[in-house]
Structure 1
Amino acid sequence: MPSDAVAALVLAAGRARRFGNDKRLALLPQRGPLLAATLATLRPHFGEIRVVLGIEDDPVHLGIAKDIGTIVADTAEQGMGASLAAGIHALMAESQALAVAVMLGDMPWLSGDTFALLCSRASDRAIVRPIYRGQGGHPVLFGRCFWGSLEQLTGDEGARSVVRRHRDACLEIEVQDPGVVQDVDRPVDLVWAGHSGR
């Protein structure tokens, strides 16, 4: 059953210039465009999914299903922090969720068990973070009492600063899922992922 207590917020406003073209449309073997494949992994686990896009992005062109909400970040060019702040601002007004799972649009290899485990530990006063072999990964689940801090982020300042300030509320969960740290920065990452068996 999808979680009603946790909303998923997918950051997908960046065009990823390092990749060479719009990586959100890069094709994964047997799974279609990268962003759409990431959203497909979330759908069974979250009743509410929102995608943060840039002002010039077309959800239909990006393969985002009609029943998945989009949020336009006017200041997305300033960096990930600005995109996250815009997404949280919209959720604060529209969502009743107790926590938000902050996810990146280029991480389509997480297992369903990981999503279920993280959501089972979520609360309005906790920050839940997966750890794989000592490395912090995504999604990071922020309880509602931290949304105000996320809404204040600017530029390229990511959510790490909020995690650092609230270490006492941070619950780190060891997982055996490399998908929590595996994203796509370059075309070669797609090729490797295609042979990874995930």
Structure 2
Amino acid sequence: MRAGGVRTTVAGLVLAAGAGRRYGCPKALVELDGRLLVERSVVTARAGGCHPVVTVLGAQAGAVRDRVDLGGVMVLDNPEWATGMASSLRAGLVALRATRSIAVVVLLVDMPGVTPEAVRRLVALAAPDALAMAGYGGERGHPVLLGRVHWDGVVASASGDVGARRYLHERAADLRIVPCGDVATGGDIDTEADRDPFRRGGDRRGGAGQ
């Protein structure tokens, strides 16, 4: 992408800092089909057209770094991870201010059903003032696209585990819902049983290109 002759990009932001209390370990360290969820998320973001990719770690960050090669990824340690997802979102957006990215696609590490094609559909809408999120039937979910002009507002309003939800709700008239149910699934993994639908041989919308 070029804006005024300057090369611009759409960043990817993988939020992977939580402790995964219900699961029993951080979701970043959960393995699915031989690959950790954090690695799958990074691959999905890259294959979907995001650059740079930022990954925010928190709980057991050292163990994640030891088990996954995150070379080429901007990795942030969030010391405030226990306060909720919003702290990781804020950390990622603040770090991205130093880039030329016009927008960012936010992915959650515990949603392996998100595919590169779903990411590409949001990347295609990228603009500094864009707001978009994936739709799965009648449900809204991730990934979420935040244009650069919205980053400061999200940083100021995000708290706890709400993330950008409040900010997006207040700007519902400007929010575009992008149908992704034909190429991805919007469910997350909270327990070991939740992994089964995403395993190889299940619903391949959750594994295409990963």
TM-score (norm 1): 0.89
1:105 aligns with 2:98: no
Shift of 1:146: 0.6
Distance change >3 Å, CA 79–CA 127, structure 1 → 2: same
Superposition TM-score, scaled by structure 2 size: 0.84
* Offset at residue 55 of structure 1 (A): 6.9
Question: How many percent identity over aligned positions?
Answer: 30
Question: 1:42 matched to which residue of 2?
Answer: 45
Give the CA RMSD over aligned residues: 2.1
Residue segments in structure 2 that go unaligned for 5+ positions in a row = 2-6, 205-210
Residue 41 of structure 1 aligns to which amino acid in structure 2? T
SS at match of 2:111: coil
Does the alignment pair 1:129 with 2:133? yes
Query: Offset of 1:56 from its aligned partner?
Result: 5.1
Amino acid at match of 2:136: Y
Partner of 1:193: 198
User: Distance between the aligned counterparts of 1:23 and 1:55, measured in 2?
Assistant: 9
Offset of residue 88 of structure 1 = 1.0
Question: Map of 1:35-184 to 2, 5 A cutoff?
Answer: 35-44=38-47, 45-54=49-58, 57-58=61-62, 59-92=64-97, 94-152=98-156, 153-177=158-182, 179-184=184-189
Deviation at 1:126, TM superposition (A): 1.5
SS at match of 2:119: helix
For structure 1, the 5+ residue unaligned runs are none
Compared CA separation, residues 55 and 140, structure 1 to 2 (3 A): same
Runs of 4+ in 1 over 6 A off after TM superposition: none
Supply the distance in 2 between the matched residues of 1:26 and 1:76 (Cα, whole angstroms).
18
Quote the offset at 1:120 in angstroms. 0.7
The alpha carbon displacement at 1:172 in A equals 1.1
